[in-house]
Amino acid sequence: MSRKEAILEAARELFNETSTQSSTTNHIAKAIGISPGNLHYHYKNREEIIRLLYIQMRKETTLSVDELPKSIATLHEHEKILIKVQWKYRFFFKEMLSLFARDSELEDLYIKDNIAHRRRIRQVLNNLIINEELTITDEEDIDFLVDSISLSWQFYSSLLHTIGQEVDADSVQKVIKYTSAAMKPYLTKKRK
């Protein structure tokens, strides 16, 4: 691992353990035993580090349209992978809107990606309808499911936090149960 990559890794871990607000570039430098000057040789500031971590996360999660799940079973497999990546970068989901308030470049990047992500969620739902796993006739119900899945993927760990439940690598898995429950009323007879 290069020095440059090691800084990103140390930042990610510190952000997850504490918060981006309380982890300064000085703390990050200290965590891997380099000088603040050395860190700033590689990265301009904390915002740049956060942005690069976000881009790294995105690369680990985005599927091409060809690879999108075509059944509920493969959707769940895909969800398990996504949960692992989200857990790796959990600081991002915890602080999202505050991060945007501090960095509009990150905000613009994320919104653009998230709109594309919603199109993929809709495509997956269409796949499940075509393959007769779901039956949804009302366009409004599809809108609801897209919102519901998007809301839970972005904020389910926040929900756990706000009801005082432990947020750990196991409990965040419950989002799969949540998306299943959201789709349940729309399952075809063969899937029930």
- The site for a copy of itself (CB under 8 A) is made up of 18-19, 21-22, 94-98, 100-102, 110-112, 114-115, 118, 140-141, 143-144, 147-148, 150-152, 154-156, 158-159, 161-164, 178, 181-182, 184-186
Residues 148 and 182 sit within 8 Å (Cβ to Cβ): yes
Smallest distance from the beta carbon of 34 to a copy of itself, in angstroms? 26
Q: For residues 17 and 132, which CB has a smaller minimum distance to a copy of itself in the complex?
A: 17
Running DSSP on this structure, what letter comes out for residue 139? H
Q: Which is nearer to a copy of itself, 2 or 162 (CB)?
A: 162
Which of residues 38 and 165 has its CB atom nearest to a copy of itself in the complex? 165
Contacts of 85-90 with C-beta under 8 Å, sequence gap 24+, read 85/57, 85/60, 85/61, 86/61, 86/153, 86/157, 86/172, 87/169, 87/172, 88/12, 88/57, 88/60, 89/12, 89/16, 89/53, 89/54, 89/56, 89/57, 90/16, 90/157, 90/167, 90/172
* Least distance to a copy of itself, CB of residue 97, Å: 5
Query: Which of residues 3 and 185 has its CB atom nearest to a copy of itself in the complex?
Result: 185
Kindly state the smallest distance separating residue 171's Cβ from a copy of itself, in Å: 13
